[in-house]
Homo-oligomer: A and B are copies of this chain.
Amino acid sequence: MIDTNASNGFNLYKKELMSVRILIVDDHPLVLEGLKSLLADAEGVQVVGTATNAIEAIAFLKNNEVDIAFLDINLPDISGIDLCKKVKEQFPEVKTLALSTFNERAYVSRMIQNGASGYLIKSSGKEDILEAITQVQAGGYFMNVQFDQVTPATAPKTVPFLTRREKEVLVLIAEGLTNPQIAEQLFISVTTVNSHRQNLLIKFEVSNTASLIKLAAGLGLI
């Protein structure tokens, strides 16, 4: 359900002129509530809407003016990473700020690659969040990740870019299908499946299925 404080092209609430209009996209009401609560008493900041999935988020952006969209990395329908890309394509003037549980280099680079202006881990404090808004609104970038909890040795430097087919194969592998079964499912030959599989191993910089699935699971790809 979309929470519309502002809707239909014009803004009903002009209590704070010049305030930064913020849309929060997260499927956890607690996080929504927490952010709203933290931003409620902040000067020059106004949460104009919230959404719990990508569809709602896009719908809201179509009908409302938003300066900064906070995007959760893990959403029920599509990943925040993909949503970020969509948002920047359809609403290039909207700045995006990634919200994530994880402090991982891989996520960050991928989000930035997709046009995000910043990256906030959910364990950020109020100061960080306000600082991020200020920076981003001013056209800058913000990220407070430290990468202290070093990414495991098996982790790739970035989230590999996967093709449509590779994603499909990856999902089917994770579901426990063997190459012959995947081939049957996708109406392609076993050797083709195997090619995609090898490409996945190369892109993830691993040497077997176990590592592949572990990484992909950790990245929320499956």
Contacts and interface: CB of A to CB of B under 8 A. Distances in A.
Interface residues of A, number: 39
Nearest to A154: B176
A61 B178 CA distance: 49
A29 B214 contact: no
A214 B222 contact: yes
A37 B33 contact: yes
Interface string A24-42: 0001111111111110000
Interface stretch (A15-23, A158-166, A183-191, A203-211): A203-211
Contact of A122 (B28, B208, B212, B214): B28
B28 A175 contact: no
Given A214-B217, A217-B213, A222-B214, A176 B208 contact: yes
B207 A210 contact: no
Interface of A: 27-38, 52, 74, 101, 122-126, 152, 154, 173-176, 178, 206-214, 217-218, 222
